Amino acid sequence: MPLNCGRSARQSTIRASRRSEFSPYYHATVIGRESLSLGGYLLKGTSIWLVKLIRLLSFVVVLFPAFLVFGWYYFTCNRTVFRYIEDDAKSTSRHYLDVYGATVDDYFEQNSSQHADGYVEISRSASPMSYSGSNEFVQQQMHSGKPVVVFLTGGAWIIGYKMWGALLARALVPHNIIVVIPDYRNFPQTRVDGMVDDIDASIQWVFDNCREFGGDPNRVVLVGQSAGAHLGSCILINKAIASCESKSVSSHARLSTTTWKGTDLKGFVATSGPYDLLKMQDIFHQHGLDRNITQKLFRKNLVEFSPMHMLQHLRSIGKKCIPSLIPPVLVLHGTDDKTVPCVGAVEFGDALKQIGVNASVKLYDGWSHTDPILEAPMDGNHKFHMDVYNAVKIWTFDDQLTTQLKDFDERHPLCKRICPSFLIPFGRWFNPF
């Protein structure tokens, strides 16, 4: 059974599990239950998904040495689990998030009390972890808390799971960054608007609570990959639309009960994301995401949930105020991405620039759709992690402190290759994404 690991922003304490995570049996149960539900939709559509499934399983088998390290890290690392939706009537098994690099464990004995139900209550008075710096100025600036990266995983809105971001956390935590990876409901458990609401609530939870485990709510950066990049884009643009209109045309903006603003984030890194759903629907179908699933997933309204079209609407209602509503955006994409062609990333970056957003685009030569989060770091290539780290440095610290912070260290033991290099090309060949 999942643990009740949540906390209200109005309470003076947070509650976390002393265990690093739920059992592998719990994960298998969640995945199995939702797979059965999804099967009904897949059987009615194109059979391409079956080929993709076989390739996905082959991908895992070929890169099994890396996935073994991946899994071992996930289940044994310093990771704390919280529930980000308090209401038992609304919360599900997907409304949990993983916090990597939290200082909660450092204070279990000094600043906590053990409850009979297994929870640990962490006092608000517990001070954040101390930091080593090159001088007193660095220590004073960082004492308020570590930067926080909120990572939104991908998975075609169907097989997304918080575990998929473990390698990002593995690389960033040793560099004094807290990584928060929220889970969110997938299709068919909900539709895309429900996913947006889940992520919106999880980000609010981070702002309300990150100081309690050593993070700084004034240094939060959002990162999304694939479907996560799409959902993150939708949230930020929806927030901007809601600020420009008393009543947004977006149902999500009308229904949102969160109070955080887009510019409360210091920046957004969008990686391998689909930003024009109208152009992508044929490609989705060719990759096994059948049109009947796409229509139900997006409630037969691809325009409403397409970031490119949402930007057009935002431009028409509030061009002058847009730069003050959306944080800096870094768009990253692989040039060999067959699932989501990189031209979409370039167009999205250009569209952001045209409305005054501080946006930049960087393409990774020869990288596939999943290279940033899987194949490349498995092979010891941390370009993506380095770019995220550098963005965090630039966005969350002033110029004087940024120049004194250490560079990303690819030689760190947790950044070493975890898979024989000769297996990586075979893995890329089998990869269905």
* Phi, psi angles (nearest 5°) of residue 166: -60, -35
Percent of the chain with pLDDT over 90: 57
User: pLDDT of 248-297, one tens digit each?
Assistant: 444 444 456 789 999 999 999 999 999 999 999 889 888 878 888 888 89
User: pLDDT of 124-179, one tens digit each?
Assistant: 333 333 334 444 544 554 557 899 999 999 999 998 999 999 999 999 999 999 99
Q: Which of 327, 288, 279 is nearest to 307 (CA)?
A: 279
* Sign of the dihedral defined by the CA atoms of residues 177, 182, 183, 187, in that order: negative
User: pLDDT of 370-386, one tens digit each?
Assistant: 999 999 999 999 999 99
Checking if the pLDDT of 8 tops 60, the result is no
Please provide the size of the chain in residues.
433
What value does the mean pLDDT of the chain take?
A: 82
Say if pTM beats, i.e. exceeds, 0.75: yes
> With 0-12 CB in 10 A as exposed, 13-18 as middle and 19+ as buried, what is 336?
middle
Q: Which fold has domain 81-102+143-416?
A: Rossmann fold (3.40.50)
- In this predicted structure, what is the pLDDT of residue 3? 35
At 61, the pLDDT band (50, 70, 90 cuts) reads very high
Q: What phi-psi label fits residue 311: left (phi over 0), alpha (psi between -120 and 50 degrees) or beta?
A: alpha
Checking if the pLDDT of 46 tops 90, the result is no
Integer Cα distance of 365 and 236 in angstroms: 28
Checking if the pLDDT of 115 tops 50, the result is no
Domain residue spans of the chain: 81-102+143-416
Q: And the tokens for 13?
A: 């304490």
User: pLDDT of 169-187, one tens digit each?
Assistant: 999 999 999 999 999 999 9
User: pLDDT of 199-229, one tens digit each?
Assistant: 999 999 999 999 999 999 999 999 999 999 9
Mean pLDDT of 228-238: 96
- In this predicted structure, what is the pLDDT of residue 133? 44
| End-to-end Cα, the chain, rounded Å | 32
Which carries the bigger pLDDT value, residue 204 or residue 48? 204
Which residues have C-beta within 8 Å of that of residue 82, sequence separation ≥ 6?
5, 6, 7, 14, 15, 16, 96, 97, 99, 205, 209
Q: And the tokens for 432?
A: 């269905």
Region of poorest pLDDT, from 37-41, 174-178, 340-344, 409-413: 37-41
Which carries the bigger pLDDT value, residue 85 or residue 362? 362
